[in-house]
Amino acid sequence: MFLTTAATTTTKACLRITTTTNTVSAAAATVVVAKNARARSSVGASFSGRRQMHLSSSSALAATESEENKGVGEKDDKSRADDEKDHPNLATETTTKTKQKSKGPTPAPKHTRAYGTPMTGYQLEHGARLMAEDSPFASLNLKEAMKVGAAKGVRCRQHVNPLSQKFCKPSETPKWDEIFKDVGKPMTIDVGCGGGRFPLAMAKRFRERNFLGVDVREALVERGEKWGEFAEVSENVAFAAGNCTVSLKPWLEDYNKNNSDKRRGEVELVCVQFPDPHFKRKHWKRRVVQKEMVDALASGLKAGARVFLQSDVKEVAEDMRDKFEKFGNGKFIVDESLHTGNEGVIFEADAPDLSDWEGEEHEGFVPTWYQKGWLKENPLGVPTEREVQTTNEGQPCFRVMLVRT
């Protein structure tokens, strides 16, 4: 009992001492704060009035924004209910937006895309349009092919690095006499054929010609072969996997070299349509049209053969056109029969920025083909998938036709 009472008394004494100590500490802290306040006051007095006004207004603005954000972020259900009560259409609009959002893919925007901005929206809707009865590819009957599993979608990378080790070497040369039933027909090569509907539709429409679709993505090539069989055009259309930048030269050399009996038809057209733009400057070296390709076509094509270039990105179309002018060594010209100067056929191309062509690497070259303008319509009569999507958005395509001299 004594020990308990003594302990209790001692504890109370300690508490009193502790309380006294805390009181002294608080008092000392108050003195320090007061000294600091006087110091800040003396320093603040040395600032100009404009500086004080700026600090005051900034603090007030920050406080106002904080309150506004707080009010927006902490709006409760009661406040929302009051809003809906005052504005009956608010609840209906919110419900409608929710329903619209659950319908499916977002429609493509109608505004003009800025340079470097990818197309947005509706891959599934776009695919359905390509299968529709009013589609330019309706004759391929791929909607029926889908029902039997011949037109399944494929999973592959949309953007491929052609400079990777896998694609740096030329692919195996196609066996020309095996992939076409009649190798004597003139041939068209579609560089970067993508889904393959363009060469398939061309083969369906022009039975008297052979068509070769080339793409680096093997999955698309394999599906294109299946589609060709289902569309009954496998006799005059074929697909090959490869990087055309490095593969076209050996392929064309083989095609021409082993044609001493002239049994094979000539390559009359090469198309480069809507290639991967590779927007970043450091990736421009990945673009398909490089000096190597221009050299391959200059040496592999005969006089009169054509090269058709088009893109929905103006800068990419200009880059392709200018490279053929620069590296073609005079072996290509703009097709005067199409670029006639008629405003109904062509539209004006922008003059080049001469500062882009300064430097020793350009060797004094300045583009001049821009004076011939861009073709308003596709002269081939058959669009690509990307072209259909672009025109449906109301966007322009930049086209130019070249001729091997």
Q: What is the pLDDT of residue 151?
A: 58
- Section 143-172 average pLDDT: 69
Q: What is the pLDDT of residue 115?
A: 46
Enumerate residues 6+ apart whose C-beta is below 8 A from 188: 199, 202, 209, 210, 211, 212, 267, 268, 269, 270, 271
pLDDT tens, residue by residue, 82-134: 554 555 544 444 444 444 444 433 343 333 445 445 544 445 566 667 877 77
Q: What 3-state class would DSSP assign to 370?
A: helix
pLDDT at 191 over 60: yes
Q: Which residues pair with 374 in a beta bridge?
A: 347
Enumerate residues 6+ apart whose C-beta is below 8 A from 287: 275, 276, 277, 278, 316, 319, 320
Which is the catalytic residue, given 86, 177, 182, 276? 276
276 is catalytic: yes
Among 400, 387, 396, 386, smallest CA distance to 324 is for 400
More confident residue, 345 or 96: 345
pTM of the model: 0.68
Domains for the chain: give ranges and CATH numbers. 123-404 (3.40.50.150)
Q: In the chain, what percentage of residues exceed pLDDT 90? A: 44
Helices (H), 45-87: 49-73, 77-86
Inter-residue contact 108 to 393 (CB < 8 Å): yes
Q: In the chain, what percentage of residues exceed pLDDT 70? A: 63
- Residue 259 banded pLDDT, cuts 50, 70, 90: confident
pLDDT at 270 over 60: yes
Exposed, middle or buried by CB within 10 Å (0-12, 13-18, 19+), for 175? exposed
pLDDT tens, residue by residue, 55-79: 444 444 344 444 444 444 444 455 5
